[in-house]
Amino acid sequence: MFFKKDTPSEEKNSLINLFKNHISPGKVAFFKKYHMDFVMGHRNGSWLCDLDGTKKLFNLHSNGGVFNLGHRNKEISDVLKSQLNFYDIGNHHLLSKPRAKLAALLAKLLPGNLNYTIFGVSGGEAIDTAIKVARAFTKRTKIISVYGGYHGHTGLALQTGDMSYRVPFLFDSTDFIQVPFNDLESLKAVLKNDVAAVILETIPATLGMLMPEEDYLKTVKELCQSNKSLLILDEVQAGLGRTGKLWAFEHFDVIPDMVVLAKGLSGGIYPITATIINDKLIDVFKDDPFIHISTSGGAELGCAVVQKVLEITAHVDFLKHVNSMAILFAEVLQDLQKKHNSFFRGVRQKGLMIGLELTDSLAGPALTKAAYDNDLLLIYANNDTSVVQLLPSLVITETDIAYIVKQLDKALKQAKLLHKALILKKGLGQLFK
């Protein structure tokens, strides 16, 4: 009764079958079950269209920040097109002008001694690199992360994350320790002289945009310093203007030893990531500068894309825009929260990094589905499903916000009914991993 049904076109049906037979039968079955078998077709700005044009969605998830500047941002794609006349991936053994210029720009935009960049392709790879550097520098093996944090699905990144992602793949090393976020006492208890680094998302997104308590990050850095451990901040989702400052850690009066950037760095067009390390850590590569490589990391074509992303994102007017949209969002969300307060309990927000706190763990999946039925793509936080993440593009407008509020209001009404049905039937499963 709650599910809208559309009849898919022949082309769409056959693509869904290809996906089922050659990529993931499980995902196809899941999306079909919930009548969410959307196949991405045309996309532009904040909008996504289904392949057969029967449905459109306003993207309020932005793939965790990949689409900070919207889908197919023209300025970004023009840069990529122009680079194709001259560049390709480049050669990871050789010196490179685009990589050198981009690394210098990152150093200029980052505070402190964060002066060296190691490029990669995926966020997980960039986290793995940070952990490798921490271990090589400190000659220690242990890494502390937080329960419910998320840093990727590659080897070392996976080890810092939730058990549910590790156990099926038989990853269970005692070198990786977890403590609750915002809990300094638990951290102190495990921060011993065998700890290479503490790794945190500045604002943990998969945990539902939990905000660091006052002085938490600053104290973590001080504790690390006195223990000769390193602090790695993962700004894969929180960085690049998302919170209204270029770097989210700027809100918290802390400078990490390493910063990891991914997702939005790509401009949604060319995958590229960066592990930026401080001056002292470059010593790790003193004896052998070839001990770490990434063949396509920092591809020369992608470097120009990132230059443009940074030029747009670091601009004072851009950050002003993010902050004024954030104020508007705060106002309208407060009104919606009052109206639906039995279901919608509160808002976590820093700039346009927003979490909607809902009544319980079934409410996030319920609102995700109801939002989809009302043409909004938003997704609950996988490690706290009582929270729905709201990550609009940073180029969102007042008109967009008026549309979102109208649709979200309808979605909240529908989600309450769906939520009741879920309580009776128990569970919508995990909608999106």
- Give the footprint of ligand PLP on this chain (CB under 6 A): 64, 122-124, 127, 150-152, 201, 205, 234, 236-237, 262
Least CB distance from residue 255 to ligand PLP, whole Å?
19
Q: Closer to ligand PLP at the Cβ: 278 or 383?
A: 383
Task: Please tell me the distance from the alpha carbon of residue 372 to that of residue 37, in angstroms, as a whole number.
Answer: 11
Identity of the residue, 1 or 293, whose beta carbon is nearer to ligand PLP in the bound complex: 293
Backbone angles phi, psi at 69, to 5 degrees: -105, 20
Looking at beta carbons only, is 403 or 432 nearer to ligand PLP? 432
- Tell me the C-alpha distance between 365 and 432, whole Å: 9
Could you tell me if 269 and 65 are in contact, meaning their C-beta atoms sit under 8 angstroms apart? no
The span from the CA of 330 to the CA of 120, in Å, is 35
Q: Which is nearer to ligand PLP, 201 or 400 (CB)?
A: 201
Shortest separation between residue 298's beta carbon and ligand PLP, angstroms:
15
Residue 172 dihedral angles phi and psi, to the nearest 5°: -155, 60
CB 393 within 8 A of CB 68: yes
* Residue nearest ligand PLP by beta-carbon distance: 123
CB-wise, 205 or 276, nearer to ligand PLP?
Answer: 205
In this structure, what are the phi and psi dihedrals at residue 203, rounded to the nearest 5 degrees? Answer: -130, 110
b/e map 400-427, b = 16+ CB within 10 Å:
bbeebbebbbbbbebbbebbeebeeeee
Sign of the C-alpha dihedral computed for residues 137, 141, 146 and 148 taken in this order = positive
CA 248 to chain centre: 13
- CB 362, min distance to ligand PLP, A: 23
Q: Using CA atoms, how far apart are residues 413 and 48, in angstroms rounded to an integer?
A: 24
| Shortest distance in whole angstroms from residue 66 CB to ligand PLP | 9
Minimum Å distance from CB 182 to ligand PLP? 17
Q: 379 or 418: whose CB is closer to ligand PLP?
A: 379
In angstroms, what is the minimal distance from the CB of 205 to ligand PLP? 6
Pairing of strands 195-201, 230-234: parallel
Minimum CB separation from ligand PLP for residue 103, in Å? Answer: 20
* Closer of 207 and 336 to ligand PLP (Cβ): 207
Alpha carbon separation from 432 to 323, 377, 425 (Å, rounded): 29, 11, 19
Please say which residue, 130 or 362, places its beta carbon nearer to ligand PLP.
Answer: 130
* Least distance (Å) between residue 286 CB and ligand PLP: 28
